[in-house]
Amino acid sequence: MASMTIIDIAKICGVGVTTVSRAINNHPDISEETKAMIMKVIKENHFVPNNSARNLKRSASKTIAVLIKGITNPFFNRMIQVFEKEIQRKKYSFILQRVDENQDEIEVAIELEKEKRLKGIVFLGGYFSHVKEKLEQLTVPYVLSTIGMTPEFDPQEYSSVSVDDFKESYKMVDYLCRLGHQKIAILTAPMSDVSIGKLRYEGYKQALADHGIPLNEKLVCCMKEQIESYSMENGYVVTQELLASGEEFTALFAVSDSLAVGACKAIFESGKSVPDDYSVAGFDGLDITFYYHPSITTIRQPVEEIAEETIRILFDLINKKMTHAHKIFPGELMIRDSTIPYKE
Amino acid sequence: MASMTIIDIAKICGVGVTTVSRAINNHPDISEETKAMIMKVIKENHFVPNNSARNLKRSASKTIAVLIKGITNPFFNRMIQVFEKEIQRKKYSFILQRVDENQDEIEVAIELEKEKRLKGIVFLGGYFSHVKEKLEQLTVPYVLSTIGMTPEFDPQEYSSVSVDDFKESYKMVDYLCRLGHQKIAILTAPMSDVSIGKLRYEGYKQALADHGIPLNEKLVCCMKEQIESYSMENGYVVTQELLASGEEFTALFAVSDSLAVGACKAIFESGKSVPDDYSVAGFDGLDITFYYHPSITTIRQPVEEIAEETIRILFDLINKKMTHAHKIFPGELMIRDSTIPYKE
């Protein structure tokens, strides 16, 4: 059942594991004779040693890690279920590792890779703006799932599965413009963001431009950095400020559904109504957008398909069936009760 | 840095790891001389072998597993964050393992215990109705967190942290009765449930009885077994059926907030209003109950405190500071906009 390990080789050779490790790694502290004997046994047994000396003290494991930024985002819950199912189907084990907002996920991945001897990594969510040199420190295959990358990144350097955040965001804002709205606020990521937040904001700007609507920076509302990003609380607080500013708007596009829910609450609390006073739209396709009252117009990301494709690509990489792949799924504009045509 | 392993002992002795393992485990296939030599080396080096032969091929790990039923329940997200932080603070590593609704969490735990060489386990959520003999198969300390146990279980046999599900449920239904409601429906677990669902249902029955209100079984609505339990969808579908049944009621108590959100949606879709036509109350204290429109009356469970105490007890058990402990936190009745006094 289990494949041969270095421990088995050591046993056959009648030497310690460290000696076998030295033979494999051309370590100076081993006689040529012992080394030749060990290499002969390795060859006879078709044993494939692992590359990393650090790994030699560990037994073989087949583990995939999913590194997730923002585990409280319900968007990821369904994806995690799919990851787990698919990874188990491949007879691999599954580690779920949360990464804090202020943690560097590559550093976490490098540590985990050493510690758990991973076969592959899925990065889920978050901003991804690491330099190429850093990404190269990862020695196992990885796939970025629902992480938008800015165009500066060479697609030859990584694999990814996501929707086209620019295009889907454009689709939503274009829809709001077609409803006759001209004063459309956006709840988006801080301008320092270079990932999905930026892409969705760029889609907003382009849609406005294509409808001949000048950008009003007073309607560009960034999430608070001190509050959990993309959360209901963040949408609530930022929308309260927007309403208090007195700047006129008739529609609001939030770059996540949780932000949109928070925005609706702030509007209701101010004595105004969704959609009669303000149309509100979100992004992601969370269940709550259906169950909210009114139901919230959103872009549904096909989470199950994205998760399944992520694992398919990861295993193709592990099995060296390809070098890199990028898969983009279409989102779906779900028109619900929170958006209505502009009224004079 | 790292403590001595069996691999180091094998090296010192000039034998294979398996030989060391045989010496430690009194395996017949080892000569008395070799065994004596190895045991001498072990003693000289103050090496503490692990008990399980299966473990001998693995390097030392200090790992806590959190086994969670229903990872899609947002109630657990915040708890998981706390678990992770507290476990890392103890310099242990952390495995999050999801258990399917139809999986036996004890069997999953036993497998994981062998596989990952755990030091402790947290069981999070779900029904817990295993026989004592099964629980005894767990050889590492464990704590049940937010899992209600029926009184048949001897508290001497396990440790737990939770709210008093019976009492908190009683508190909510008592509050609805004091608002003048007599026809109070409940959305609850299937009657086969023996855990928190049962406890919350018992609290409902007792509160009705204490207010002299006879139980109307037509107002006892059980979640659908084929839909994810405690979910918005389940609350939605079951409430649609209740409304369609024509059975009169003026208030509805859902045993989870997600169920309550689904119930509100079904009521709005039927052309009725919350709270004007029906008062609706939930249980858990999810963020969404604040952001929903109307905001939803609920019992807030102190999730951070529950999670912290769970880890504190687990490490006390690991460090043999005690045998078993049970900690019950009070919930808080959060009166919001979804419940109003009964109107003729």
Mean pLDDT of A217-223: 97
Is the CB of B15 less than 8 angstroms away from the CB of A16?
Answer: yes
Distance from the Cα of A203 to chain B's closest Cα (Å) equals 28
Is the CB of B18 less than 8 angstroms away from the CB of A5?
Answer: no
Strand partners for A221 = A187
The pLDDT confidence band at residue B54, using thresholds 50, 70 and 90, is very low
Asked if residue B201 and residue B79 are part of one domain, the reply reads no
Sheet holding B220-222, edge to edge: B220-222, B184-188, B251-254, B279-281
Domain's final residue, options A36, A57, A78: A57
| CATH code where residue B316 lies | 3.40.50.2300
Asked if residue B71 and residue B36 are part of one domain, the reply reads no
B104 pLDDT higher than 60? yes
Per-residue pLDDT, A55 = 36
| Helix extents (H) in A179-256 | 196-210, 232-245
Nearest CB among B7, B95, B291 relative to A236 is that of B291
Q: 3-state DSSP call for residue B185?
A: strand
Asked if residue B259 and residue B238 are part of one domain, the reply reads yes
Asked if residue A230 and residue A116 are part of one domain, the reply reads no
The pLDDT confidence band at residue A340, using thresholds 50, 70 and 90, is very high
Is the CB of B292 less than 8 angstroms away from the CB of A290?
Answer: no
Asked if residue B309 and residue B264 are part of one domain, the reply reads no
Please give the structure tokens belonging to residue B76: 């657990």
Mean pLDDT of A240-268: 98
The pLDDT confidence band at residue A127, using thresholds 50, 70 and 90, is low
Highest mean pLDDT among A153-167, A303-317, B13-27: A303-317
Mean of per-residue pLDDT scores for chain B: 86
Establish how many alpha carbons lie within 13 A of residue B202's alpha carbon, considering only the half-sphere containing its beta carbon. Answer: 14
Per-residue pLDDT, A72 = 67
Asked if residue A143 and residue A267 are part of one domain, the reply reads no
| Gap between the Cα atoms of B89 and A297, Å rounded | 42
Asked if residue B312 and residue B206 are part of one domain, the reply reads no
Nearest CB among A10, A59, A98 relative to B58 is that of A59
Per-residue pLDDT, A30 = 82
| Residue contacts between A and B (CB atoms, under 8 Å) | 104
Is the CB of A5 less than 8 angstroms away from the CB of B81?
Answer: no
Chain B residues with CB-CB distance to A under 8 A?
Answer: 5, 7, 10-19, 57-59, 71-72, 74, 77-78, 80-81, 84, 93, 95-96, 98, 115, 232-233, 236, 261-262, 264-265, 268, 287-288, 290-293
Per-residue pLDDT, B88 = 83
Using a CB-CB cut-off of 8 Å, the residues of chain A touching B93 are 115
B152 pLDDT higher than 80? no
Pairing of strands A332-334, A298-300: antiparallel
B129 pLDDT higher than 70? no
Task: Please give the C-alpha separations between residue A255 and each of A283, B111, B192, in angstroms, as whole numbers.
Answer: 5, 42, 43
| Gap between the Cα atoms of A90 and A119, Å rounded | 12
Is the CB of B288 less than 8 angstroms away from the CB of A232?
Answer: yes
Using a CB-CB cut-off of 8 Å, the residues of chain B touching A262 are 291
The pLDDT confidence band at residue A1, using thresholds 50, 70 and 90, is very low
User: Which residue of A lies nearest to B265 if distances are taken between CA atoms?
Assistant: A291
Nearest CB among B18, B72, B233 relative to A81 is that of B72
B56 pLDDT higher than 50? no
Nearest CB among A71, A81, A233 relative to B80 is that of A71
- Residue B142 domain flag: yes
What residue type is assigned to position B237 of the chain? V
* DSSP conformational letter for B214: P
Per-residue pLDDT, A36 = 85
Is the CB of A80 less than 8 angstroms away from the CB of B98?
Answer: yes
Domain's final residue, options B23, B39, B57: B57
Is the CB of B262 less than 8 angstroms away from the CB of A292?
Answer: no
pLDDT digits (tens, 9 = 90+) for B280-293: 999 999 999 999 99
Strand partners for B187 = B221, B254
Residues 6+ apart with CB under 8 A from B176: B184, B251, B253, B279, B281, B339
Per DSSP (E only), the strands in chain B are 63-69, 93-99, 118-124, 142-145, 159-163, 184-188, 220-222, 251-254, 279-281, 298-300, 326-329, 332-334
Phi, psi of A138 (to 5 degrees): -75, 125
- Residue B343 domain flag: no
What residue type is assigned to position A204 of the chain? Y
Asked if residue A18 and residue A29 are part of one domain, the reply reads yes
Asked if residue A178 and residue A128 are part of one domain, the reply reads no
Nearest CB among B93, B265, B290 relative to A293 is that of B265
The pLDDT confidence band at residue A256, using thresholds 50, 70 and 90, is very high
Asked if residue A283 and residue A169 are part of one domain, the reply reads yes
Is the CB of A7 less than 8 angstroms away from the CB of B233?
Answer: no
Per-residue pLDDT, B52 = 36
| Dihedral over Cα of A34, A36, A37, A38: its sign | positive
Using a CB-CB cut-off of 8 Å, the residues of chain A touching B21 are none
Distance from the Cα of B147 to chain A's closest Cα (Å) equals 21
The pLDDT confidence band at residue B127, using thresholds 50, 70 and 90, is low
Phi, psi of A93 (to 5 degrees): -100, 170
Asked if residue A81 and residue A26 are part of one domain, the reply reads no
Is the CB of B11 less than 8 angstroms away from the CB of A17?
Answer: yes
Which structural domain, as residue segments, surrounds residue A155? 63-164+303-330
- Residue A12 domain flag: yes
User: Among B41, B44, B89, B47, which residue's Cα sits nearest to residue B64?
Assistant: B89
Per-residue pLDDT, A53 = 34
A128 pLDDT higher than 80? no
Per-residue pLDDT, A76 = 86
Domain's final residue, options A39, A57, A75: A57
| CATH code where residue B53 lies | 1.10.260.40
Is the CB of A293 less than 8 angstroms away from the CB of B293?
Answer: yes
A178 pLDDT higher than 50? yes
Query: How many domains does chain A fold into?
Result: 3
pLDDT digits (tens, 9 = 90+) for B292-344: 999 999 999 999 999 999 999 999 999 988 888 999 999 999 999 999 999 87
- Residue B145 domain flag: yes
Asked if residue A85 and residue A106 are part of one domain, the reply reads yes
- Residue A1 domain flag: no
Mean pLDDT of B51-76: 64
Mean pLDDT of B210-239: 96
